[in-house]
Amino acid sequence: MMRATFTFTLSTVLLFFSALGEGSSASSRILPSVTEFFEVLQDNLTEVTWEHAVNSQAALKEALNSSDIMMIEADIVLGYLEGNSTFQLPVMAHPPSNTSDLSFEDFLNQVIQNKAHGIKLDFKSLEAFNASCTILQSRRENMTFPVWLNADILDGPVNSSLIGEPVDATKFLQLAVTHLPNATLSLGWKTRYGTDYNITDGSYSEANVEEMIKTISNVSLPITYPMRAGLVANSLSAIEKLLNESANGTTLTVWSSAGDSVDNETLSDVIKKIGVSRVYVDVPDELWGRLDLKSSPSSGIKIGAVAFGTLLAAFLFAKFF
């Protein structure tokens, strides 16, 4: 999962960081934001490169070794290390799997050693997060890279309550704020969509958005909302409402599962309307290759025309009344 065009710029920033060496402020700041850490980013978050589901020793070695990858996404369950079904601990795995050759603690230690990547930690249950909190807290001073704590904390489309409960929102937020202040929270809705359920159509509703806004009203940590690509394409007005009622700096992270039905034209359009400065895109290569996120000159002209029309109307209004 690499975006070839990025190679040069990221190597440049890595060289920059290694030239700064230990103790420099840019590389030793605790829990920086993605844009603070990857200084190469200008105003386009879709340039951030991702490796998804980094849930094994081999996948982690490969991701850490790749200068083409900025953010590492990985899943945490309360489970077992392979070959030991008696001792339960947080491990890197995606349900229904509950075993791994990589514990969460080992994962975090390797990322800390490496120092060059940010992480998005997708906690699959409150128990998994709770059991990971002391590990996170004890290493806080060593996390000189972006750390996102992700969970699906609300029911969502399409009738997701049919497939299980979200992570308890209040408890998740309490634990996060207590153990890792200044991490970024990635707060999402459960989704029932895609090949697992043979669902190809749906959207985030106003009610979904209103529930989220209410839920995060007392949270002061930075937030990104993970939203599923196929649903995002149908949800522009709900997303605009969500971002308008969230703190400045709040972002969206568009994700997708392999095989999801996604209208690439509409999705490209929605991302550009929200603005590439507010949207991370963590989707399979197949979908990434079908998106067009270049700013279209025509939209600039349209905005210009609207602005001119408004001015003209104001002028006429003033003149005739």
Ligand X SMILES: *[C@@H]1O[C@H](CO)[C@@H](O)[C@H](O)[C@H]1NC(C)=O
Q: How do 71-81 and 89-92 pair as beta strands?
A: antiparallel
Q: What is the 3-state secondary structure (H, E, C) of 261-294?
A: CCCHHHHHHHHHHHCCCCEEEECCHHHHCCCCCC
Tokens 């998005």 found at:
120
Q: Which long-range contacts (CB under 8 A, 24 or more apart) does 295-298 make?
A: 296/272
Q: Return the DSSP state at 260.
A: -
Contact residue for ligand X among 38, 50, 60, 67 (CB under 6 A): 67
Contact residue for ligand X among 86, 220, 317, 320 (CB under 6 A): 86
User: 225, 211 in Cβ contact below 8 A?
Assistant: no
d(CA 118, CA 41): 14
Site residues for ligand X, window 36-55 (CB under 6 A)? 44, 46-47
Quote the tokens at residue 224.
Answer: 């990104």
Q: Is 202 helix (H, G, I), strand (E, B) or coil?
A: coil
User: 135, 104 in Cβ contact below 8 A?
Assistant: yes
Site residues for ligand X, window 136-175 (CB under 6 A)? 141-142, 158-159
250 touches ligand X by CB under 6 A: no
Q: How far is the CB of 134 from ligand X (least distance, A)?
A: 5
What is the secondary structure of 135-150 as a DSSP string?
HHHHTGGG--S-EEEE
Q: How far is the CB of 224 from ligand X (least distance, A)?
A: 17
Q: How far is the CB of 293 from ligand X (least distance, A)?
A: 4
Q: What is the 3-state secondary structure (H, E, C) of 33-84?
A: CHHHHCCCCCCCHHHCCEECCCCCHHHHHHHHHCCCCCEEEEEEEEEEECCC
87 touches ligand X by CB under 6 A: yes
Q: How far is the CB of 133 from ligand X (least distance, A)?
A: 7
Q: How far is the CB of 226 from ligand X (least distance, A)?
A: 19
Contact residue for ligand X among 56, 110, 250, 268 (CB under 6 A): 268
Choose one: 147-155, 252-260, 261-269, 302-310; the region binding ligand X (CB under 6 A). 261-269
Choose one: 145-153, 227-235, 289-297, 298-306; the region binding ligand X (CB under 6 A). 289-297
Contact residue for ligand X among 18, 20, 165, 181 (CB under 6 A): 181
CA 109 to chain CA centroid, Å, is 22
In which element (H, E) is residue 173 found? helix 169-179
295 touches ligand X by CB under 6 A: yes
C-beta of 181 vs 304, nearer to ligand X: 181
Q: How far is the CB of 107 from ligand X (least distance, A)?
A: 14
Site residues for ligand X, window 102-141 (CB under 6 A)? 112-113, 127, 130-131, 134, 141
Tokens 């809705």 found at:
189
Mask for 189-218, x = binds ligand X (CB under 6 A):
---------x---------------x--xx
298 touches ligand X by CB under 6 A: no
234 touches ligand X by CB under 6 A: no
Residues at the contact surface with ligand X, assessed by CB under 6 A: 44, 46-47, 65, 67, 84, 86-87, 96, 98, 112-113, 127, 130-131, 134, 141-142, 158-159, 181-182, 198, 214, 217-218, 247-248, 264-265, 268, 276, 290-295
